[in-house]
Amino acid sequence: MPDKSRKDETLLGIDYGEANIGVALGRNGIATPVQIVSGKNSATAINELARISIENKVDKFILGLPLDHYGKETKQSLAVRAFAKLLKIRTKKPVEFQDENGTSIEALEQSIEMGIPMKKRNMKDHLSAALILRHYYSEKKVSS
């Protein structure tokens, strides 16, 4: 089977959080928010992400990495790296990191623009995951 070009890869964008994990699918430079998975139990979350990746024939995971304003690791980024290692072991799929600095604020702004009621705006993790993929695509210059 020939290698897929980067453009044809199906990516799963992940905005990891200990409470909620945002999930988005990416293909041909387009990112679409999918769902929010509970992050309260890592094993359950990884099983759910594995299921989503199988159903959607995902080639690679892109995890948002929360770095500080100087591009340095944070306590949360170390937790993301630990989660990514478990995900990679469970799924046997490659994992790449994307600086997620500012995606939560951007997702909040988008949810306001989309008219999402204030009570539901805290459930924006899947929008953040889509933004992580969009930033990944723009940095890699992948487009349809």
Low-confidence ranges of the chain (pLDDT < 50): 1-3, 121, 143-144
Check: CB of residue 98 under 8 Å from CB of residue 64. Answer: yes
pLDDT of residue 62: 97
Q: Which amino acid is at 141?
A: K
Fold classification of 6-140 (topology level)? Nucleotidyltransferase; domain 5 (3.30.420)
Q: What is the DSSP letter of 94?
A: -
Query: Domain residues of the chain, as ranges?
Result: 6-140
Query: What is the pLDDT at residue 143?
Result: 46
Instruction: State residue 3's pLDDT score.
Output: 47
What's the pLDDT score for residue 128?
87
d(CA 106, CA 97): 18
